Amino acid sequence: MSGSVGRQFYSLPGIVRHLKATGHLSKYIVINLGINGPPTQHDINSVLKTLGKKRQVFWINTRVPRHWQNTTNRMIAKTAKKHSNVHLVNWYQASRGHKGWYASDRVHLDLTGEKYYTRTLAKRVSEILN
């Protein structure tokens, strides 16, 4: 597990390479990046090459009041369609109409939002693995 506040997608390729090199890369990967800016296709390709085709990747899309929201979500959806081991976790859809799940900044989740975010991820993982 690797988490950090304010992390940008461009840091993910190096993190994934390090986890793999040290034997700490799991069979199941959750990517929760995109709130702080969109990924580049180069970084996506690098991450997927390192992960390989045997690991299952659950990539959570985003709902954030920033101009890159739609670009990020399109890239995630496109990647999931192209790679059979990449699975879109559609937080954007699940959170539609639920402004009350967010703090006043409309970026960070409150406790209720966190609960539904976790449920959305768990439901998608269950759909794929069961």
Question: pLDDT digit string (tens) for 5-20?
Answer: 456 788 899 999 999 9
The helix/strand/coil state of 9 is helix
* pLDDT above 90 for 26: yes
**Could you tell me the pLDDT band of residue 22, with boundaries at 50, 70 and 90?**
very high
Mean pLDDT of the chain, nearest integer: 93
In a domain, 31, yes or no: yes
Q: What is the pLDDT of residue 33?
A: 86
Give the pLDDT score at 82.
98
Query: 1 lies in a domain?
Result: no
pLDDT band at residue 4, thresholds of 50, 70 and 90? very low
Q: Is residue 25 part of a domain?
A: yes
The pair of three-digit structure tokens given for residue 86, joined into one six-digit string: 């990449």
Whether 116 is in a domain gets the answer yes
113-128: pLDDT as tens digits: 999 999 999 999 999 9
Task: Scan for tokens 């986890």, then name that residue.
Answer: 19
Structural domain range at position 18: 9-129
The tally of domains found in the chain comes to: 1
Provide the H-helix boundaries in the chain. 12-21, 41-51, 69-82, 91-94, 111-129
Domain with residue 93: its CATH number is 3.40.50.1110
Report the pLDDT averaged over residues 26-39: 90
CB atoms within 10 A of CB 23: 6
User: pLDDT tens-digit profile of 76-116?
Assistant: 999 999 999 999 999 999 999 999 999 999 999 999 999 99
